[in-house]
Every structure is written in structure tokens, then in C-alpha cells.
Amino acid sequence: MEEIKILKLDMFTTLMLAVLAIYFGEFLRKIFPVLKKYCLPASVVGGTIFALLSLLLFKMGIVQLDFDYKAINQLFYCIFFAASGAAASMALLKKGGKLVVIFAILAAVLAAFQNGVALAVGKFMNIDPLISMMTGSIPMTGGHGNAASFAPIAVDAGAPAAMEVAIAAATFGLISGCMLGGPFGNFLVKRFKLDEKLAEKEVIGEIDAEGESGNLLVDKPNIIQAVFLMCIAIGIGKIIELGLKSVQDSTGWKVALPIHVSCMFAGIIIRLIYDRKQGNHEVLYESIDIVGEFSLALFVSMSIITMKLWQLSGLGLALIVLLIAQVILIIIFCYFLTFKLLGKNYDAAVMTVGHIGFGLGAVPVAMTTMQAVCKKYRYSKLAFFVVPVIGGFISNLTNAVIITKFLDFAKELHAVWIG
């Protein structure tokens, strides 16, 4: 069989295709209002269509698209996190503290449940426990990064197919997170009449229109200033990361702070500085939000168009059952626990969407699906502060500890299974 030709696309071509995918997604949302009704983002819609086209070209043996996107994608990812940090005022930091603790516990409990369900369903279907673990919190809450990091441990322990299963499961999670988050958020809002409650509170003055897009008229100087400040923020973020790494190297501390979280902290610092300066900076803050939204859309679109969907073709029926079990778990968990324990209000609904996003896929999935819900109803500054802190940082730490414990247990079960 003739080897398929690989077409390499540079980062600028990839960036162009990501934008075209967003435009196409917006076009489809206009043609099919059901996509907008159920809060499916343009970047997800258009990006998925492009990924399916890429899959078709691969399956027909025409060409395999190979994208150079990681460097430029990380740039937009970090700018988005810096903008998220800059949206956090002191009042928001105080209000979100309690929710961060509750959400962190929920994220850790979900990760443990994901591994428990993976092992239980795997045992029922007589699957190697190490392979079953590759459909738990490693690819789900952890995403492709954790899949690539932890799968080799399972390979070394005697499960040679672990890497392929983990990467395929992470891809499945990314797709399902993109597709489920928005519609689930829309369901919560309608089911509990949260949009009506928001309208009532606005009428009686309990909440204002803070954070609503389009209420402020931005101008060229503020947009330029916003871009410059976000460039400064990611530079500060890098300095923070390097500083912590040097401390880590000298002390042997094993906990690393991801670059995007460092950038978020830098954004918070910039916001606190501007909040202390005299004058009204609301137009600048709105401009920073716009820069963040722009960066997020490009990051998500590039992440989706570059997916290798053919990795899913090797999944057997047993693994598909394992992955569907994960989807069912997170829907039940988020409905009965996440939404209710976070307050059972509109902010809680948006944060629940975020939990589905990073619980199945990744933080950018969480943010873009939250954004789709907010565009239809109302912006939630609280959700856009709490979710990145948990999904981007804290859950990475707790999930790593949980994975390690479960992997040790899976190794013991594997020894029994092969015996």
C-alpha cells in the first residue's frame, strides 16, 4: 500500500485556516439557528467541519495535513489567560475565593470518579486495567498533555497500546466537551429559568450590566493599549515561570506553574495596578476583554482544525463504551453536584459549562463554550475568573496526585489480569 502524502502547513497558513473556520462557523450559525440556540460556538462548528474534511482527505488516501501551530497557539492561549486575569477586580477576587475552594474539591472528586468508573466498566468488559485507565482522568480532565505524559508509564508497565488509546480518548473528550458544554448550559438556564431571574434582578437593581459586551464604546487608543498591556503581561508571566522554576530547581519542589497560569497572575497584577490609578478605566478593561475573546477564538479554532480524528478510528466497541460512560458520568456529576454546590444560579450554570469543558476536554474548550452561553444570555465575570484558576492550574495538581494513586492500583490489577 502506497504511503500517504503529508502536506505541511506553516503557522501563518494555519492561522488563516483557523480564521476561515470561524467565519464558516458563523455562517452556519446564521443558516442553522439551532446551532446558536444551543450555544455551539462558531470556532467549534467551523473547526469541526474542517477537522472532518481533514479526516476525509486522510481516509481517502489523498493527503495528511500536518500543521505547524504550537508556538503561535501558545501565544494566543497565554494572551487569553492574561486577559482573563485582567478581568479580575479586587471585589471579584474576594467573591470568588470561596467558590475556588468548592470548585477545586469538585474537580478533584470528579477526577477520582472518572478513574473509578474507567476501572469498574473495564473490569465488567474484561479490559486490561491499565488500558481502562487511559479513558479516565488522564485524557479527560488531563487532556492531550496528560495523555502524553502518563501513557508511557502504562506502556512500561505492560500495556503497549496505552499511548494510542490515551491520545484517542483525549481527542474524543475534546470533541464531546465542545459539543456538550453549550447545550448543557442552555438547558440549565431554561430548566431553572435563570434568564428570567436575571431579568428580574436587573429591573430591581440588584445587579447591573457590568461585563455586558457592547455597553462601552471602545476606541483605537484603548485597543492599542490593551494589546500592549497583554504583551507585557505574558512577558511578566514568563519571568514568573522562570523565577519559580529556579526555586523549583534549587529546592527540589516538584510542583511547576504552567506558563498560561503565570500569565493569568500577571494579568491580575496589571488589573490591580490600574484599579489603584485615578480615572475611569472601564473602556480599557472592555478593550482587554475584546483582545482576550479574539485570542480565545483563534486558539480554539486552531486546536480543533488540527485534530487528528483518524486516531479515533482504532477505538473498538469496548473502548467506545468506556468513553460514553465518562460522558454520562460528567453530565450526572455536573447536574447534581457542580451546579448545585456552586450556588444553583446563573454564575453556577456558566461554571458548570466550564466544568464539562475541562472535565472532558481542556480549559480552552471550557472557556469557549462558556462564552457561547454568555453571548446568548449574560456575561459572568465570576465564572471567567474561577474556571481558569481551577481548570488551568489547581485541577492539574490534584489530578496528577489522583492519577498516580490510581495507576499504582491499576498496575496491581494488571498483574492479576494477565495472570
Residues 6+ apart with CB under 8 A from 277: none
Percent of the chain with pLDDT over 70: 93
Looking at the structure of the chain, the number of domains it has is: 1
Place of cell 483605537: 220
Whether residue 278 lies inside any domain: the answer is yes
Q: What is the mean pLDDT of the chain?
A: 89
User: pTM here?
Assistant: 0.86
Give the model confidence (pLDDT) of 344-358 as tens digits: 999 999 999 999 999
pLDDT at 307 over 80: yes
Highest averaged pLDDT of the listed ranges 84-93, 267-276, 313-322:
267-276
Residues 6+ apart with CB under 8 A from 271: 85, 86, 87, 88, 89, 285
Grid coordinates representing 396? 492539574
Give the model confidence (pLDDT) of 383-415 as tens digits: 988 998 888 778 888 998 999 999 999 999 999
Dihedral sign computed on CA atoms, order 305, 310, 313, 318: negative
Q: What is the mean pLDDT of residues 76-104?
A: 87
Average the pLDDT over each of 49-53, 186-190, 205-209 and give the range with the smallest value: 205-209
Average the pLDDT over each of 2-6, 29-33, 211-215, 231-235 and give the range with the smallest value: 211-215
Percent of the chain with pLDDT over 90: 64
Q: What is the mean pLDDT of residues 175-181?
A: 93
SS (H, E, C) the chain: CCCCCEEEECHHHHHHHHHHHHHHHHHHHHHCHHHHHCCCCHHHHHHHHHHHHHHHHHHCCCCEEEECCHHHHHHHHHHHHHHHHHCCCHHHHHHHHHHHHHHHHHHHHHHHHHHHHHHHHHHHCCCCHHHHHCCCCCCCCCHHHHHHHHHHHHHHCCCCCHHHHHHHHHHHHHHHHHHHHHHHHHHHHHHCCHHHHHHHHHHHCCCCCCCCCCCCCCCHHHHHHHHHHHHHHHHHHHHHHHHHHHHHHHHCCCCCCCHHHHHHHHHHHHHHHHHHCCCCCHHHHHHHHHHHHHHHHHHHHHHHHCCCHHHHHHCCHHHHHHHHHHHHHHHHHHHHHHHHHCCCCHHHHHHHHHHHHHHHCCHHHHHHHHHHHHHHCCCCHHHHHHHHHHHHHHHHHHHHHHHHHHHHHHHHHHHHHHC
Give the model confidence (pLDDT) of 256-282 as tens digits: 667 888 898 899 999 999 999 888 899
Whether residue 93 lies inside any domain: the answer is yes
Contact yes or no for 12/71 (Cβ under 8 A): no
Residues 6+ apart with CB under 8 A from 95: 382
Please measure the distance between the N-terminal and C-terminal CA atoms of the chain and give it in whole angstroms: 38
- Dist CA 353 CA 194 (whole Å): 14
The boundaries of the domain holding residue 89 are: 6-418
Whether residue 22 lies inside any domain: the answer is yes
pLDDT at 210 over 50: no
Whether residue 81 lies inside any domain: the answer is yes
Whether residue 1 lies inside any domain: the answer is no
